[in-house]
């Protein structure tokens, strides 16, 4: 199937984005003030979460681990939520613990059960494309994939498991690569309560617009990121 045919057939994400934006606008129109008060009153929300005891952090750690393996919800959303609930330092820590557990799990599963299991858990077309991209690549390449945005780092964890690379070493590198993005997500969440009400509408619209652009030009954006990674990899090899 050609790229144009693929985009023509996959009209559903566009419709879903429009519906979600309309729903978000309706929610803001009807419950905007209570939501604003809830977001601003961060101490009340944190006090409620604190009453959960250790279950609060354990739940968010489990969600982060699960989204690496099965991707039910975007990991960035969990990172922002952790920053809002626990602050920058603790939010980053909880997010990273979950991501490390999830990444180690996918690497070990792929190493133990091989490609048949991986094909059941990830998109086959994306797996085939990234099989070719990551073939015979070294640790530095995979570190940059986790460091750069707009790249399928969760899928890359499976590919590392299918490769002969050392899992402990790669787990350290992937953790370091993920850390800046997780820190930024926690920072955004920790500052969310200070945003005025009017700022949420363009923020939500911009987020939805970026999501649509990434869906529409996924291969082009990935290609740009990969060219940057290859450039950095070449210069690192020369140094």
What is d(CA 81, CA 75) in angstroms, rounded to the nearest whole number?
A: 10
Q: How large is the C-alpha radius of gyration of the chain? A: 19
Looking at residue 137, its pLDDT comes to 83
What percent of the chain has a predicted confidence (pLDDT) above 70? Answer: 64
Whether the Cβ atoms of residue 21 and residue 204 lie closer than 8 Å to each other: yes
30 three-state secondary structure = helix
pLDDT in tens, 136-148: 788 888 999 899 8
Domain around 37: 3-238
What is d(CA 25, CA 21) in angstroms, rounded to the nearest whole number?
A: 6
Q: How far is CA 164 from CA 133, 157, 168, 212, 237, in A?
A: 16, 13, 12, 36, 21
pLDDT in tens, 37-79: 555 555 666 665 677 778 888 888 988 888 888 864 566 778 8
| Over residues 1-6, mean pLDDT | 47
pTM for the full predicted model: 0.71
Q: Of the spans 13-17, 51-55, 64-68, 200-204, which averages the highest pLDDT?
A: 64-68
1 three-state secondary structure = coil
Whether the Cβ atoms of residue 86 and residue 57 lie closer than 8 Å to each other: yes
What is d(CA 135, CA 48) in angstroms, rounded to the nearest whole number?
A: 48
pLDDT in tens, 147-196: 988 788 888 999 999 999 999 999 999 999 999 999 998 988 888 766 66
Task: Provide the domain count of the chain.
Answer: 1
Query: Measuring CA to CA, which residue among 141, 184, 179 is closest to residue 160?
Result: 141
């Amino acid at each position: 199937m050609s790229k144009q045919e693929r985009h023509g057939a996959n009209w559903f994400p566009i419709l879903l984005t429009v519906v979600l934006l309309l729903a978000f606008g309706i929610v803001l129109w009807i419950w905007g003030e209570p939501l604003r008060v809830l977001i601003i009153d961060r101490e009340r929300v944190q006090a409620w979460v604190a009453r959960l005891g250790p279950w609060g952090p354990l739940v968010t750690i489990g969600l982060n681990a699960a989204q690496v393996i099965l991707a039910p919800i975007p990991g960035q959303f969990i990172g922002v939520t952790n920053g809002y609930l626990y602050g920058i330092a603790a939010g980053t820590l909880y997010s990273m613990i979950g991501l490390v557990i999830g990444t180690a799990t996918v690497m070990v599963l792929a190493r133990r059960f091989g490609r048949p299991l991986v094909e059941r858990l990830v998109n086959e077309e994306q797996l085939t494309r990234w099989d070719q991209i990551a073939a015979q690549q070294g640790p530095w390449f995979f570190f940059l994939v986790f460091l750069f945005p707009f790249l399928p780092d969760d899928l890359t964890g499976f590919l590392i498991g299918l490769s002969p690379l050392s899992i402990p070493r790669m787990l350290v590198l992937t953790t370091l690569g993920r850390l800046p993005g997780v820190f930024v997500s926690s920072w955004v969440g920790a500052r969310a309560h200070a945003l005025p009400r009017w700022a949420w509408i363009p923020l939500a619209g911009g987020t939805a617009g970026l999501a649509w652009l990434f869906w529409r030009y996924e291969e082009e954006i990935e290609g740009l990121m990969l060219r940057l990674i290859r450039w950095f990899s070449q210069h690192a090899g020369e140094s």
